[in-house]
A and B are shown apart, each in its own frame.
Chain A
Amino acid sequence: MPPRLRLALFALALACIAPALPRVIGAMPVFGSHPLPYGDIINRLAPVQRHVTNMVSAVNFDYRGFDTLGEEMMLMVAVTGTAVLLRGHRGESLTALPATVPGRRIPPHSEALVLTARWFAPLTILFGLYVALHATVTPGGGFQGGVIIASALLLLYLGEGYSGWRRFMRTEALDAIEGGGSAAYALAGLAPMLTGAEYLQNTLPPGQLKSLLSGGLMLILNAGVACAVAGGFGILFVEFLEETRAEDPNQ
């Protein structure tokens, strides 16, 4: 379809919908002062029932834990699909050099950059672990912590360059972390069924309010999500950055 025809169709659709838009916006609930029944129930019950202070984690890993299992599977499928698409035609050699464009040399890394990356990557990982571990207490959780940990891997890439970075990024380990995290989430749901409870029902002791060990089953699910997200994004980084390699001359 030519772009002008598409644009004309878009304009036509917009002309049909536009008169209704003010009415729809006008019929929306008053911003900031309308009842939030479901949220209020969670806010009231979660600190009492589950002894957690972070309501968002309580929704993610307990009250709507089954939905998060679906999100978990989506993440795994997206990462697997990316790996399958990109891994297709290249070799798996670990020591391949980064590709170069004729006439443009790769400049040597400045010592300041290497030092900064080596300092900040472990600190970023530490911060990611802190955010992930405090899921049930303060703002944070496996999703956020996992992404922060994964971003530290990119910092290391900045500092070490492709060859040095790829040498310690073991895809087997990343695959195991990603799949292990997802499996831990799915299997932790089965454990309560051994005692006659329902799938993903939180039957573990809830612990003390404001304690790092509060939340029962949420802690296991949260750890699974943190591993799956950190490993999954690590795989994505490896797959995309392997695209910058030089072609293997032996192939």
Chain B
Amino acid sequence: MTVLPWAVCVWLFVIGLYGIITSRNYVHLIGCLSVVQSATYVLLLAAGFRWGAAAPIFYDHPPGTPAVDPVVQALVLTDIVIGAAVTALLLALALQLHRRKGSLDPEELRAMR
């Protein structure tokens, strides 16, 4: 079972990448990018996990009790919020693209001149 977390993040990364590659719609592509991104969250949180350890909050249990790694949690926490804002930026790009070209299919778009 100790292989499962690593396998899950490989699976999330590959399935998200597959979605990006076969995507016929930019909104779908942005969603797939978020799936790829969540693979990194699983990887980070799995790297900081420790059996039998508590959350790194020493309010109810005194400092010194075994706790999981707070560094990766801080990384994931900030990244989720920033990731949501960046997804909004990408969706805004897709919206402008649809307004100008009338399509969200990467195949129907030609390079700008």
0/1 per residue, B60-98, Cβ < 8 Å to A?
Answer: 000110011111111001111110111011011101100
Chain A residue nearest in CB terms to B7: A25
Q: Tell me what chain B mostly uses at the interface: helix, strand, loop, or mixed.
A: helix
Chain A residue nearest in CB terms to B2: A31
Q: Are A47 and B58 in contact (CB under 8 A)?
A: yes
- What chain A residues lie within 8 Å of B95 (beta carbons)? 85-86, 243
A3 to B96: give the CA distance in the assembly, Å. Answer: 23
A35 CB, nearest partner CB in chain B, Å: 9
B99 CB, nearest partner CB in chain A, Å: 8
- What chain B residues lie within 8 Å of A59 (beta carbons)? 70-71, 73-74
Q: Are A137 and B71 in contact (CB under 8 A)?
A: no
0/1 per residue, A1-44, Cβ < 8 Å to B?
Answer: 01100110010001000000100011011111100101110111
A162 adjacent to chain B (CB < 8 Å): no
- What chain A residues lie within 8 Å of B47 (beta carbons)? 29
With an 8 Å Cβ cutoff, the count of chain B residues facing the other chain is 52
Chain A residues with CB under 8 Å of chain B are 2-3, 6-7, 10, 14, 21, 25-26, 28-33, 36, 38-40, 42-44, 47-48, 53-60, 64, 67-68, 71, 74-75, 78-79, 81-82, 85-86, 88, 137-139, 141, 143-144, 146-147, 210, 229, 232-233, 236, 239-240, 243
In the complex, besides A40-B69, A42-B56, A59-B74, 14 extra interface pairs with C-beta distance below 8 angstroms are: A2-B107, A3-B24, A25-B10, A31-B46, A36-B48, A42-B70, A44-B64, A55-B70, A59-B70, A75-B81, A75-B82, A78-B86, A81-B92, A143-B80
